[in-house]
Structure 1
Amino acid sequence: MRKSTFALPVVVIALVLLLSSIFIVDEREKALVLQFGRVVAVKEDPGLAFKIPLIQEVVRYDSRILSRDVEPLEVTPLDDRRLVVDAFARYRISDVTRFRQAVGAGGITIAESRLDSILRSQTREVLGSVSSNDILSSDRAALMLRIRNGAIAEARALGVDIIDVRLQSTDLPQQNLAATFERMRAEREREATDERARGQEAAQRIRAQADRTVVELVSDAQREAEIARGEADAERNSIFAEAFGRDEDFFEFYRSLTAYARALKGGNSSMVLSPDSEFFKFLKSAEGTPAPAPAPTTGAASN
């Protein structure tokens, strides 16, 4: 009975020591085994691990990619146009031993504080070497890469790998917004005035070109019309001359009929001619006697 009384506490103590010597490493973390504050083992693979009870302790660190928001900071680019930049970084603890040596018992809190200092310093250095237009343009991707590359070396001293750095927003300080907006509005108005002036100049040039083209086209058309008219008149005269040469009497008769048609039109005009005038040559009888004369009271042939 006395042996069992002493055996039970021993078993309990042994069980407690056994359980306290076993710990589990999760796949999302890395563990350090410390003995009196000194690193004696690194456990990076998930599963069961052992330590010496009461003498050794286990410190766990997250092995996943972590995110850190940097407090907004004011930077001054080359053109002295102050900007307020809000950035964040993604990082991962790559070397837990070095990380423990760098931050001590402070852990993630101390590491992120030192990481903020590194990122703020690199952000000011990189953005201060370019103009504000470069920061606000599509070139900001290259600037973020420069900030990341500049911070990598310093962050490795902490046992941390910086994976990415992003500028979330880039704004003007509140006190500079009104002045900046007014300057931007003035610049846009000046550009609009220049564009309107160039447009009016182009319109005048186009109208002048169109007017000159119209004059040239009309002139060419008139010239071609005159040429066609002259050729037609020449051809007509040639036909008349050929017809006159073939039968002079018929041509004279045709011309007389044309003259009758033009002279004896309806209207209030009248002509005073002698009945035996050459004008009435073809109005005489077939025997060569004149046609009956008009009434002696008028003494004229009227339309």
Structure 2
Amino acid sequence: MKRLTYLLPIGIVAVAVLMASIFIVDEREKALVLQFGQIKRVKEDPGLAFKIPLIQEVVYYDDRILALDTDTIEVTPSDDRRLVVDAFARYRIADVVQFRQAVGVGGVAAAETRLSSILNAQIREVLGADQVTSDTILSEDRRGLMNRIRDQAQGEARSLGLNVVDVRLKQTNLPEQNLNATFERMRAEREREAADEIARGNEAAQRVRAQADRTVVELVSEARKEAEIVRGEADAERNGIYAQAYGADQNFFQFYRSLSAYEEALKGENSSMVIAPDSEFFEFFKSSQPGAAE
């Protein structure tokens, strides 16, 4: 009974020591075994492992690809049009020993701060290089620029034990003050183009109007010319008929002309005429026979 009393606490302590010496590494992690802050062992394969209780501790690091959003910065390409740029990167911890030595107890937070500074510096360097314009950054050619940023950042990130997998520019916009100036310039250009189109339209309309006026004048002139010709031919034909009639019967011709004169003189409603009764104007009123005047 006394042996059982002694063995039970010993067993409990042994189980506690055994449990404290066992640790598990997940397949998504890597682990470092530290002894008084010094790296004693690296555990990269998933499964059970052992450490010295109370003396050694285990630090876990994510082995998956991680994401990092950079701060928004301004860059000035070679054409001096400033752009507001922000990016995101994909990275992973490639060397946990070097990573621990580089960032210490700061871990992933400290590493991302330093990696963000590296990325921002490379973004400024690549996008501000010669022959890199804002049009290049905003076009499909920026894929090559992002690869250059990734490759150059990779060299510096390697000292942190990191592997930069990818870098992408999320947005590239003009600063607010430049954006307003650009909108005003675009509006002015569109207004100038509209004014040019209106001027060209007015010029075309003026040409059409002038051509129409000229056509009207030509048509009216031609119509008047033809009317004068027809009128002249009619007058000539009328005069010919008059001459022929006069030559055939002079008395009848005189009688007809007198009737026409009566008609023209007496057709007014308010006309008043004072003529002597024996006037030659009433020659044909003196006899019922036109030939009696002779």
What is the TM-score normalised by the length of structure 2?
Answer: 0.63
**What residue identity is the alignment partner of 1:59?**
Y
Q: Deviations over 1:17-72 (max 9, x none)?
A: 2475253638xxx21133453423244xxxxx3111336735131736423232x5
Q: Is the 8 A contact 1:118 1:151 kept in 2?
A: no
Find the aligned partners of 2:121 and 2:191 in 1 and give their Cα distance.
43
CA shift for structure 1 position 216: 0.2
Counterparts of 1:286 and 1:258, CA distance in 2: 17
State the distance in 2 between where 1:130 and 1:284 align.
Answer: 122
Where does residue 116 of structure 2 map in the other structure? Answer: 116
- Report the counterpart of residue 6 of structure 1 in structure 2: 7
Find the counterpart in structure 2 of residue 164 from structure 1. 168
User: Secondary structure, in 3 states, of the residue corresponding to 1:285?
Assistant: coil
SS in structure 1 of the partner of residue 221 of structure 2? helix
What is the identity, as a one-letter code, of the residue corresponding to 1:160?
V
Query: Aligned match of 2:292 in 274, 281, 289?
Result: 289
Contact 2:85/2:173, CA 8 A, preserved across alignment: yes
> Residue 127 of structure 1 aligns with which residue?
127
Residue correspondences, number: 270
Partners in 1 of 2:227 and 2:25 — Cα distance? 113
- Contact 2:87–2:170 (Cα < 8 Å) also in 1: yes
Aligned counterpart, 2:42: 39
SS of equivalent to 1:164: strand
Query: CA 1:212–1:287 in 2, change beyond 3 Å: closer, same or farther?
Result: closer
Cα distance in 2 for residues equivalent to 1:79 and 1:287: 110
Residues 232-243 of structure 1 aligned to structure 2 (within 5 Å): 232-233=230-231, 236-237=234-235, 240=238
Q: In the alignment, is the contact (CA less than 8 A) between 1:32 and 1:97 conserved in 2?
A: no
- How far the C-alpha of 1:268 sits from its partner, in A, is 5.0
3-state SS of paired residue (2:148): helix
| Corresponding residue for residue 98 of structure 1 | 95
Q: Separation in 2 of the partners of 1:34 and 1:200?
A: 76
3-state DSSP class of the match of 1:289? helix
Match of 2:48 in 1: 50
Would you say the 8 A contact 1:97–1:159 is kept in 2?
yes
Residue 24 of structure 2 aligns to which amino acid in structure 1?
F
Gaps of 5+ in 2: none
- Deviation of the 1:9 alpha carbon: 2.7
By percentage of residues, which structure has more helix? 2
SS at match of 1:129: coil
**What is the RMSD computed on CA atoms of the aligned residues?**
5.0
